[in-house]
Structure 1
Amino acid sequence: MLLSSFALAAAALYLDSWICWPLYWAAQGTMFWAIFVLGHDCGHGSFSNNHLLNNVVGHILHSSILVPYHGWRISHRTHHQNHGNVENDESWVPLPEKIYKNLDLTTRIMRYTVPLPMLAYPIYLWRRSPVFDPVQVLKIHGVPYLIFVMWLDFVTYLHHHGHEQKLPWYRGKEWSYLRGGLTTVDRDYGWINGIHHDIGTHVIHHLFPQIPHYHLVEATRAAKPVLGKYYREPKKSGPFPFHLFSNLVRSIGEDHYVSDTGDVVFYQTDPRLRNIKSN
């Protein structure tokens, strides 16, 4: 995987053509995402039975794409232990109604229409540690990094927002590890499934995070009859997952906050943002 990434960079530098650079950015950004997924397995301890090997490989893989491996690993474990819990989860947690309604309209619009958080970490790195010619760094690593972060946000958001199925979030005694895991959503990414190591099989990953990526499809197939109606079959994409983009747009436009009351809550829509969108 790392050799493929280096080969792409070497080819882009050799050709150094503005016809080739956009193709390189898309390919390398997707490759960064695939590298992240392998490091993600290491963080779960599912890449190998050897704890030290998991950490060494995970550190190398994530460092190559400027991701702090151990900080991410600890945070991600917290996410898995609390997924679907409005109070304790750390990944794509909905805003409670009271906090949401205290935001001014400009902040709401910025939050749901402009991907500012995606730019914060790259800007920090850019200001703190430029090593080579800035334009060259941007072309070789900067733009692919943004593509990678887009993949990361796109995939994790879709796996934890079942907009078309209106999945619940839980509080207090209503939450359990099993109920939280079953609020995740599998997605079919078409021909990209193989490139990013079948990470779309996300339900079984949340129920059994120790399963390595190369057994996720097999495990999902075995679990479906057991889960029955609680497993939501993903919509098949064909070669290209175009429907996932429209699903993302609808979700961002309608899934804004959850009620402050109740132990089983669902996303609600801010009518002011909906009116802005319709106008």
Structure 2
Amino acid sequence: MARLVLPERCGLTPLRARSRGGGAIALPPPPHLAAAPRRPVSAAIHRDWALRVSAPARLASVFEEDKSSSHWGDREEATGSAPAEEFNPGAPPPFGLAEIRAAIPKHCWVKDPWRSMGYVLRDVLVVLGLAAAAARVDSWLVWPLYWAAQGTMFWALFVLGHDCGHGSFSSNQKLNSVVGHILHSSILVPYNGWRISHRTHHQNHGHVEKDESWHPLPQRLYNSLDNMTKKLRFSLPFPMLAFPVYLFVRTPGKTGSHFDPSSDVFLPNEKKDVLTSTASWLAMIGLLAGLTFAMGPLKMLKLYAIPYAIFVMWLDFVTYLHHHGHQDKLPWYRGKEWSYLRGGLTTLDRDYGLINKIHHDIGTHVIHHLFPQIPHYHLVEATEAAKPVLGKYYKEPEKSAPLPFHLLGVLSRSMKSDHYVSDTGDIVYYQSDTETNNSD
């Protein structure tokens, strides 16, 4: 990719044109336009955007630092034009959902129940095979490998149940419900309770107050938390064990439970669904209790409890990184600035190496959030087709090694910096205690 003479830390990008082969080539501006003032694109789209956004200070400070440098004039002279404008992820996109939808091949929308059931059969056989092999060998050299593998397979089962909840598993709602209940109950997830709250998440993704999972805390709420709650929420590994707690009490600032049909996350006509999934969950608890009595607590701890803990870590790890940890700050919205499209574009794709196919490409998340009815086995193709429309609003994921250890660093950095958002502003960005203390 061609670059200007300017350093990358300025956040500036060269003018580009498309070659016939589809690549980007750098072009100098026409001489008669080199000195012409340019109106910011974001201002043309939304004139009062700058008055209502709580933008991160980092971008402005770096820009001012470079501009004050003694070499700033030399840089402008070397390029023959004023610096190019930095991309603003909070500006309304110049495309709509219809344009993205039109770019995705029609076959990507087709749900194949036989193919979906094939993935279920594959995963269930692997889970049973791993458990049988580990129980037969019963060696402390094998158990850690079993825990990692089986916990990952529990996570794969969750993703298939997740597809049932979205209706992307098949067009038959009874099949979706039966398979979803079996898969989710087997790993202690109340299928309907979670399905409905997850629907709320998708319908309000990127909205500060209305989003359901891993949404930001307003500063006033963050400041009201005691030190222990802050530590549990922002200090690893505690946030990676949050899912069971979330099922029972949701998150700070929200009330209710995924097992309580009167919770405000459910509609009155969904009471029966919530009771059904709670009964299924209790049946699994009873089965596990019986197996513990028959096999002994230690054997069940090794066969089920520890893999379940690994599954919970996978779930929290992956879902958190869908919405946090990008190298540039991503916007969250309030009020009239929020839209389904703009909220969906704040989600992130992640590359998990060999794990991609094991957990059914759930890391291919942007298109999934915009169009959750697309089956998981078409997400990669649909994403590639949509990229030309999305342009810079699509954040290309960092390529992973066979195992995604690089994402541990991303998670750690995000936990240290993504603490809360401003109490005011319709477009806001994550801040941390460190930034607040420095500004004081």
TM-score, normalised with respect to structure 1: 0.92
Per the alignment, residue 143 of structure 2 pairs with 21
Which residue among 77, 84, 101 is the counterpart of 2:206? 84
Question: What is the aligned-residue RMSD (CA, Å)?
Answer: 2.2
Question: What are the equivalent positions in structure 2 for 1:111-260 lying under 5 Å apart?
Answer: 111-113=233-235, 114-115=237-238, 118=241, 121=244, 130-131=289-290, 132=292, 133-260=296-423
SS in 1 for 2:185: helix
Separation in 1, partners of 2:437, 2:416: 7
Separation in 2, partners of 1:224, 1:117: 31
For 2:335, the aligned partner's letter is G
For 1:138, the aligned partner's letter is L
> Structure 1 or 2: larger helix share?
1
Per the alignment, residue 34 of structure 1 pairs with 156
How big is each residue's C-alpha offset from its partner over 1:213-258, in whole Å with a ceiling of 9 and x where there is no partner?
0000010011001111111111111323222110000000111000
User: How far is the alpha carbon of 1:136 from its aligned partner?
Assistant: 1.6
User: How far is the alpha carbon of 1:118 from its aligned partner?
Assistant: 2.0
SS in 2 for 1:157: helix
For 2:333, the aligned partner's letter is Y
Range 233-242 or range 149-158, more displaced: 233-242
Separation in 2, partners of 1:63, 1:110: 27
Per the alignment, residue 272 of structure 2 pairs with none
SS in 2 for 1:193: helix
Separation in 1, partners of 2:328, 2:240: 27
Q: Which runs of 5+ in 2 are unaligned?
A: 1-122, 249-280
Separation in 2, partners of 1:214, 1:223: 16
For 1:121, the aligned partner's letter is P
SS in 2 for 1:24: helix
The yes-or-no answer on 1:62 pairing with 2:184 is yes
SS in 1 for 2:238: coil
Q: Which runs of 5+ in 1 are unaligned?
A: none
Q: Structure 1 residue runs of 4+, over 3 Å off?
A: 104-107, 119-122, 272-275
Identity of aligned residues (%): 70
Q: How many residues align?
A: 273
For 1:36, the aligned partner's letter is F
Contact kept? 2:325, 2:411, Cα under 8 Å: no
TM-score, normalised with respect to structure 2: 0.59
How big is each residue's C-alpha offset from its partner over 1:175-203, in whole Å with a ceiling of 9 and x where there is no partner?
10000100000000111111111111100
For 1:261, the aligned partner's letter is T
For 1:20, the aligned partner's letter is V
Q: Which has the larger radius of gyration?
A: 2
